[in-house]
Structure 1
Amino acid sequence: MVDNAARDALRAFVSERDWAQFHTPENLAKSIAIEAGELLECYQWNAQGNEQAIRDELADVLSYCILLADRLGLDAEQLVLDKLEKSRAKYPVEKSRGRSDKYDQL
């Protein structure tokens, strides 16, 4: 999961450039969507994608997610763990194993 080293490095990077003023929750959420689109673009014409481009775009998405969680005073790792617990309840193994159906269709 996300450790404090990544969050702390991102905080330092942003601070050195005085970019926190631009990192409103709205702007960070927009940036996540934009970078996710760029990640998807890596697969636009090639199902395999370019590995380095994928790594770079995935890093951008993750970076903005970490920054948004931090800006909101949330622990990114704990968010994932909490959501995983909810998903476990919605998708019990005995009903969902090997299936891609939405929880309300199981």
Structure 2
Amino acid sequence: MAITEETRNLRNTRLSDVDLPDSAWLTYAVCAGESDSCGWGGWIIDSLVSDRMGKGLSIHERHLCPKCGKDLFKTGASVKFIPSDDQSENLAAGVVYETIPMEMSRDSHQ
């Protein structure tokens, strides 16, 4: 499958190309909404806020369980994160990291 110029540009998005959040709210969510839910639990991004722009920023709002695909239930456990002024690379120089090649299928955007 050939990569279009638009796709290449999207893949090459850098920090300077996007609106930055001033804070993020993370909430612990569980897969426990139905009798046959799988019980998965983990952190989700609940909201991103840009104080400078006076608005919320785009997030993926449909919170589905990564294990079984059912809707997640947001618990009362939430925490606010504020980005560090130090936004240097999070990978250490000289360390060989194991990576897995990205594969895309035709159905990947459903």
Query: TM-score band (shorter)?
Result: under 0.3
Structure with the higher fraction of residues in helix conformation: 1
Computing the radius of gyration from Cα coordinates, the structure with the larger value is 2
Give the TM-score, by structure 2 length: 0.22
Structure with the greater relative contact order (CA < 8 A, sep ≥ 6): 1 or 2? 1
